[in-house]
Structure 1
Amino acid sequence: MLTTRISRISAGTACLVAALAGAVVSSAAADGADTAGEAPTFREFEAATYVDVDGAYVVNGDEVVSTRAGLRAFYDRMVGLPFGNHDRDTHDADLVVNTVGGVDDKWSSATAANLTYCVSTRFGSRHAVVAAAMSAGAGLWEAASSRVNFVHVTSQDGSCNVRNNSVVFSVEPVSTSQYIARAFFPSTSKRQRNVLIDDSIWSSGNWEPGDILGHELGHVLGFRHEHTRPEAGACFEDNNWRPLTPYDAASIMHYPQCNGSSSDLEFQASDAAGLRALYGS
């Protein structure tokens, strides 16, 4: 059974109401207001959105929005829908890829074949096990397609941060109660292109560190949460995605607590099929 601590990976993303209206419960309740069915103002939403150590806004549990303008665009997409409307019949065709302006959010073939990263030595005594967990998570995707390759550049570990231009992204420690780990999409600006890992990854019940980082590396490759699809019936996020394969409630990109059918966040054949559909075999 998942612990309350583990469920924080999906904080703020249980559904549209939780992501928006739920974000201002405290302020609205203080005023004695009845907020049922009402969206908060952008100022309220911004005030309730977690700001990470590097200044990024964290939305949908473990995804980043780099700027205030980006957060405003995210908010506008949410409230631009009829509130609570989950009717997305145009997306009826497991994995879904993030889209930006209607275009797939993915790496070029050259970058996908050489996704370099470093693992910060600030992990201290955990450095080797973090590196091993990253390798395990990356290996799930690499085994599915010869077009994707994550490369740990160990020589950059001592200067591993978002300012290091010798790697595509960095893997760094964080101390937070907001999530277990978080990542980014290919379109994310370099200054927030990192995977941040909290120590709670080592005490996450059925979720093994390699699988958690496999989930995060799915975001790095451009994949959205599977539970944003209408078939999930919960945890709707937004419409900015394109379907690649049939819905799979057991997908590694599907939170178990969002009507997922797997409690251990394991990589599925449908995840591999989605990767090949986006990047090739």
Structure 2
Amino acid sequence: MPRPMKKPTPLVPAALAMTLVCSACGAPDAPESPRDDLATTSRRGATFEEFLSTVQRDSNGQYVYDGDMPARDMADLRRAWEQLSPKDGALTVDQLNAALDNTWKNGEQLNLSYCVSNDFGANKQAIVNAMSSAGAAWGAQLLVNFVYVAAQDANCNSQNTNVFFDVSPIVNAPYTARAFMPGYARAQRTVFITSSALNSSWPLAGILTHELGHTLGLRHEFLRSGMCYASSEPQNWRGVTPYDPGSIMNYPYPECGGTGGTSLSQSDVEGVSQLYGSRVLARPVTATGCGEIAAGKGLGVGELIYSCDGLHYLSFTAFGVLQLVKVIPTSSGYTYQTTWSTAASTSGQAGYGMYMQGDGNLVIYTGLMRPLWHTYTGGRPGSTLQLQNDGNLVIYSPQGQPLWNTGTGGQ
């Protein structure tokens, strides 16, 4: 039963954190878990901005939605919106609901420990070697770690809680190998491998690299082409990168449109870096204060900065889009209007961060340092990005000369 609350006051939004997630694969090799596409907030019952206009704060500073439901911070509010306003759909990531990617949280992906069952018998060493190769492939450039704990092999089953998951044999299965998705309970976290995997035309290391992709939340790439088993899989997913037939998450067979299957593609690495982080490129140093992003600072996924009057904000969304939004006070709260964005250039491109470089260039990079968009203002060291109270976003040289702007002043 709701408890009486102090009279709330309207909320001025503070942050629009968006989290990315992936889902399991379908009929041939993994259990499914319903997810959803995050690419835009259109087609939802309410956009996040509309939801924020209904949120209030009580006299203790507590965010309140749906009358009496508390939220600790803006991230909690986004999770609530994702659950209350479900949406109707390279790398293809699974989703928990309308706007929440199905990924490991709180650094769990940094210690994905596993054992390999002794029940593989004479085939065990081949499994150990292939798992080592697959785990190393994902961890080489990405902030994920698959850790083999050989000491647990003698008791390697789904009840062993000394490891995060187990790798076990299975017979009479309608697949070659099968994995699990983020969020599964320990009893469900098993990578199953059949004896046929050792004799497949798809190399064992490739098969297990594919399966470990599912454990990170990735769906089958052929969902996007409509080939293979696409029609039998849940359609709750979003594309993190452009369609890639060479993705490890495709099946390397003509009927599935796959052209790779033995190693990670560039889009595999760039897509997962957006979800978990990159070893190649550090996240941007977050800008502080209001209205300015100085040289050497930037915005990571889900971060934003406000103009000093609080009526405009610049955000780098979970979809790799840099967008400028106007906050419009109304008699009932606030509405939000996007006045400028890089969506035409960077949406669906696995943008990793926005960087105001020391040379004066504003750049959006992928996790492999591939530039997706920039302002062509390099060669002016010490320049800064200013979000003005008039709504214009401007790069100024150290001498105060405007070098680039969005042309949104007064909008």
Same fold flag (TM > 0.5): yes
Q: Structure 1 CA distance, aligned partners of 2:268 and 2:260? A: 16
**Residue correspondence of structure 1 range 1-281 to structure 2 within 5 A:** 59-64=26-31, 91=89, 94-102=90-98, 103-145=100-142, 147-205=143-201, 207-229=202-224, 231-233=225-227, 235-236=229-230, 237-257=233-253, 258-262=255-259, 264-281=261-278
State the one-letter code of the partner of 1:235. Answer: Y
State the one-letter code of the partner of 1:183. Answer: A
Deviations 1:80-104 (A, max 9, x none): xxxxxxxxxx85xx11111112311
Q: Structure 2 CA distance, aligned partners of 1:59 and 1:235? A: 7
Q: Structure 2 CA distance, aligned partners of 1:198 and 1:137? A: 17
Q: Secondary structure of the residue that 2:144 maps to in structure 1? A: coil
Native 8 Å contact 1:255 1:265 kept in 2: no
Larger Rg: 2
Deviations 1:46-94 (A, max 9, x none): xxxxxxxxxxxx94211125xxxx7xx79xxxxxxxxxxxxxxx85xx1
- Cα deviation for residue 239 of structure 1 reads 2.1
Q: Secondary structure of the residue that 2:259 maps to in structure 1? A: coil
Q: Secondary structure of the residue that 1:104 maps to in structure 2? A: coil
- TM-score normalised by the chain length of structure 1: 0.65
Native 8 Å contact 1:228 1:238 kept in 2: no
Gaps of 5+ in 1: 1-57, 75-89
State the one-letter code of the partner of 1:280. Answer: G
Alignment RMSD, CA only? 2.1
State the one-letter code of the partner of 1:277. Answer: Q
Distance 1:261 1:255, change over 3 A: closer
Distance 1:246 1:172, change over 3 A: same
- TM-score normalised by the chain length of structure 2: 0.45
Native 8 Å contact 1:118 1:169 kept in 2: yes
Q: Secondary structure of the residue that 2:269 maps to in structure 1? A: helix
Higher share in strand: 2
Gaps of 5+ in 2: 1-24, 36-87, 279-411
Native 8 Å contact 2:227 2:257 kept in 1: no
State the one-letter code of the partner of 2:185. Answer: S
- Cα deviation for residue 184 of structure 1 reads 0.5
Q: Structure 2 CA distance, aligned partners of 1:109 and 1:148? A: 12
Native 8 Å contact 2:135 2:146 kept in 1: yes
**Aligned residue-pair number:** 198
Structure with greater contact order relative to length (CA < 8 Å, sep ≥ 6): 1
Q: Structure 2 CA distance, aligned partners of 1:129 and 1:106? A: 29
- Cα deviation for residue 234 of structure 1 reads 5.0
* Identity between Structure 1 and Structure 2 (%): 40
Q: Secondary structure of the residue that 1:200 maps to in structure 2? A: helix
